Amino acid sequence: MTIRRIAFIRHRAETVIEKLEDPKLFVHPDIDVYDRLVDEPKSEEDVKFLFFRCMEKLGVIAVIDIQTYFPDATVVVLDGGNLKVKFVEFEYDAQTFIDHGHLKQMGELDIRPEEVWIVCWKNSGLSAHFFFKELRQMWEEKEIENFMKG
């Protein structure tokens, strides 16, 4: 990924935000997903699945971009009444965000820490300097299970 690509994604997100009058426009009423995760996540792919199944609960109202390299996704979130762009990185364990060299990539791509969401199943030591959402906590509190059941 290049700075030019990040600039393009930011521009695309700004265009979506400008056109967005009602955050619920992006929730299609006819979508019904039957797949269910029958056990807790065991990989980054499972974390992605769980995130996309419960993204509304996390305040995500639009997905701008999904890719196989850093950042894994770009989303628009409703934060304190404001629409904001967030670059999402999925990890099974939040600590691997550092191990994978994403801090360096953030610098190369001019992405600020406050623009990044680390979505993980567990966190075995990553500092709270970053925003991360540990989905295991939601799962244990039955927030995800209840949400997935509708």
pLDDT of residue 1: 64
Nearest Cα to Cα of residue 69 among 56, 88, 84? 88
% of the chain beyond a pLDDT of 70: 75
Distance CA 114, CA 131 (A): 7
Nearest Cα to Cα of residue 140 among 43, 40, 44, 50? 40
pLDDT of residue 54: 82
Mean pLDDT for the chain overall: 79
The pLDDT tens digits for 98-126 are 889 998 999 999 999 999 999 999 888 76
Contact 58, 118 (CB under 8 A): no
138 or 73, greater pLDDT: 73
pLDDT of residue 5: 82
Distance CA 127, CA 53 (A): 26
Q: How much is the average pLDDT of 127-137?
A: 74
The pLDDT tens digits for 53-63 are 888 888 899 99
Q: How much is the average pLDDT of 16-37?
A: 51
Domain ranges of the chain: 3-149
